[in-house]
Amino acid sequence: MSVRVLALVGSLRAGSHNRQLAEAAVKLAPEGSEVVVYEGLAEIPFYNEDIDVEGTVPAAAARLREAVSGADALLLFTPEYNGTIPAVLKNAIDWLSRPFGAAPLGDKSVAVIGTAYGQYGGVWAQDEARKALGIAGGKVIEDIKLSIPGSVTRFAEIHPADDSEVVEQLTEVIVRLNSHAATPAAA
């Protein structure tokens, strides 16, 4: 079975270290799986029930829902903004939590990782993202964690894909997420 992992990156900055981590994940996907970085989170309007009406859902939100529906698992890469999750990632989670009872996020295997400048690597943002994803219906894999501190200095002159420690840890994350996604839900 081939496993398709959709990566959502919570930083829109071109030189984002979390985007670089996602790019590394694409390269590290083991045989029989693929990691695809989703493009377009910046185009999705803020969630509003008034515009989330069947037949008139904004195209950018509909594309996100379709991409998530076609994935076996999600891997979120989040920086930490003011001690919490970036708005663009929270907005994506909100769109993916609807429509009630038929949300694309429903029962999808999800892991949250990332890097941040601080000494804890963005653990608060990751915890907040896991909480929101779980409430939204995702099957959050709580024991898959990777928080890389000091991103600004650690990745100042090296891409995460060239950091052997990061490569080892990120590979383990992908392999474990693939395993969860490939395991059928208990009946």
* CA-to-CA dists, residue 182 to 90, 106, 132, 155, 171, angstroms: 26, 16, 23, 32, 16
**Other Cβ atoms closer than 10 A to 139:** 17
What is the DSSP-derived secondary structure letter of residue 144?
-
The pLDDT value given to residue 185 = 55
Q: In this structure, which amino acid lies at residue 112?
A: V
Residues of the chain with confidence (pLDDT) below 70: 1, 184-187
Strand partners, 150: none
The pLDDT value given to residue 28 = 97
The correct answer on CATH 3.90.226.10 for the domain covering 3-182 is no
pTM of the model: 0.95
The pLDDT value given to residue 1 = 65
